[in-house]
Structures are given as structure tokens and as C-alpha cells.
Structure 1
Amino acid sequence: MGLLENFSSGLFIIQSAIFLVLLFVLRKYAWKPILDAVNEREISIVDSLNQAKLAKKEVENLKAENENIIRAAKVERDAILKEAREIKDRIVGEAKDVAKEEGDKMIEQARQAIQAEKSAAMADIKKQIGSLSINIAESILKQKLDSSEAQNALVEEYLNKSNLN
């Protein structure tokens, strides 16, 4: 067993030396590139996370800005609608006033026309009544004064009245 033990301990030493050499070679040629790659990957992930945070902040800012724009647009829309309603009400009011004035003018013109026609009709009626009265009086006088006795009696009656007055 001595030889086996010597061989085992020699093998152990050789294996330990190979392990150390392998560890040195791996450290120099494999660990450094692996660690560099891991570090680069870590840096890339951190950068990506930072960019994602920045993008998220930008999206939130854009959302807030959009909400502000929408709010401002709604306020402006409401103001425009209010102004439009006021303009409409003013135009409708003015149109009503103009229509009322025109209606009042037309009514006044109609009243004046009616009054003028009434006056003309009254004058015409007076003229016709005067003419008719004269015709009736003439007709009555012709009937009464058909005879010379009636004419003499009428003349005497007028003379007596004239003398009395």
C-alpha cells in the first residue's frame, strides 16, 4: 500500500498542480473575457433600465402634456361655444328688434292709410250727402213750386220771415 499511497499523493500533487495551472490559464484567458462580458452585459442592462425609466418619464410627461392640451382645448371650445351662443342670442335679439320695428312701422303705415282712406271716404260721403240733399231739396221745390200760387206763397213766406228777423 505504500506505493499506492505514494502514487496517490503524487497524483494528488500533479492534479493540484494541473488544477492551479488550469486555474491560472482560465483566469488569464477565460475568466477575464467572461467577467468582461458579464460586466458589459450588466452595464447594458443598467443602461437599458435607465433608458426604459427615461422613456417611461417621457411617456408620463407626454401624457400630462396631452392632458393639459386636452384640458386647454376643452376650455377654449367651451369659450368658443359660449361666445357663439352669445352672438346667436344677440343676432336673434337684433333680428327680433328689427322685425318689431318693421312691424310697428307697417302697422303705423296701415293706420295712416286707413285714416287717410277713412277721411277720403267721409269727404266723399259728405259730398254725396250734400249733392243728394240738394237733389232732394230741388226735387221737393219743383213739386211744391209747380203752380204759380205755390211760388207766390213761398215768396211771401220768405219775405215775411225776412221782415220778422
Structure 2
Amino acid sequence: MLTNQFVLGVTESTQKFNGGDILYTVAAFAVLLFILKKVAWGPLMGIMIKREEYIANEISAAEKSRIESNQFLEEQKALLKEARIEAQAMIENSKEHGEVQREEIIQVARQEADRLKESARLEINEQKEQAIVALREQVASLSVLIASKVIEKELSEDDQQKLINEYIQKAGE
């Protein structure tokens, strides 16, 4: 029974309002909060502010880098477009130059062909003149030969015509 009284006595004494303990607990809590604020909360908030500034700086740097990248991309697109235009102009220039060269080659070839034709025509005319001179010489010698044969013998008109035709046929061969 003694244990029952002791338990009852302890429970009765713990149920009393004790203002000093509450005051002591509140003061200890306030001191603990003050120490936490100075030792942990202040540096922790400083680190958080620095981290926030670092993240904000990184975001602005990334945004700036993105803007610069877009500008560089636009510049590269413009340079590529300019290079394509320049390449197209070079191709057109090459085509025109090739066309001019082709025309020059054709013109030179025509001039050479005309020169060769003129040279051949002159050679043909020269050969023709030589043939005419040779033919005249042969006709003259044949005429002399016919005349000498006519003188040697008296021929009738049919014989003379036959003889002339034979010599003309020989001259044609």
C-alpha cells in the first residue's frame, strides 16, 4: 500500500501549476532561439542569400549567353546566305566566262575554217590556171602536130574532123 500512496502523491504534485518552471522554459527557449539566430540562422540565411545571388547571376549569364548565341547564329546565317549568294555569283560569272570563251573558240574555228577554205580556193584556182596553161600548151602542140600531119598528107574533110576529134579526146584524157 505504501507504493500506492507514493504513486498517488507523485501524481498529485505534478499536477500543480508551477510558474517558475514555465518562466524558466520560456527563457531557455528564447536564449536558444537567440543563439540559433546568431550561430545558425544568420549564417544559414547569409549562405542562402549568396546562393540566391549566385543562381540569379548564373541565370542572367545564361540568358546573356543565349542572346549572344542567337546573335552569333543570326550572324552565321547572314554570312552563310552571303556566301551562297557569292558562290551563285561566281557560278554565273564562270558560266558567262565559259560562254564568252566558247564564242571566242567558235569564232577562231570559223576564221580558221574560212582561212583554210580561202587557201584551198586559191590553191584550186592556181591548179586550175596551171591546168589551163598546160592544156593550152597541149592544144598548141596538138595543133602543131595536126597541122604537120595535115601538111604531110592531104586529108578529106571527114578525115580532118575525125583526126581533130581523136586529138581532142586524147587531150581530154
TM-score under structure 2 normalisation? 0.78
Matches within 5 A, 1:1-165: 1=12, 4-7=15-18, 9-144=19-154
TM-score under structure 1 normalisation? 0.82
Q: How big is the shift at 1:116?
A: 0.8
Return the alpha-carbon distance in structure 2 between the equivalents of residues 83 and 126 of structure 1: 63
Greater relative CO (CA pairs within 8 A, separation 6+)? 2
Return the alpha-carbon distance in structure 2 between the equivalents of residues 119 and 38 of structure 1: 118
How many residues matched? 144
The letter for the 1-side match of 2:24 is I
The letter for the 2-side match of 1:4 is Q
| RMSD, aligned α-carbons | 1.6
Return the alpha-carbon distance in structure 2 between the equivalents of residues 110 and 3 of structure 1: 146
Matched residue of 2:16: which SS? helix
Return the alpha-carbon distance in structure 1 between the equivalents of residues 93 and 37 of structure 2: 80
Return the alpha-carbon distance in structure 2 between the equivalents of residues 85 and 126 of structure 1: 60
Matched residue of 1:114: which SS? helix
Identity rate, percent: 28
Give 1:160's aligned residue.
none
Q: How big is the shift at 1:77?
A: 0.7
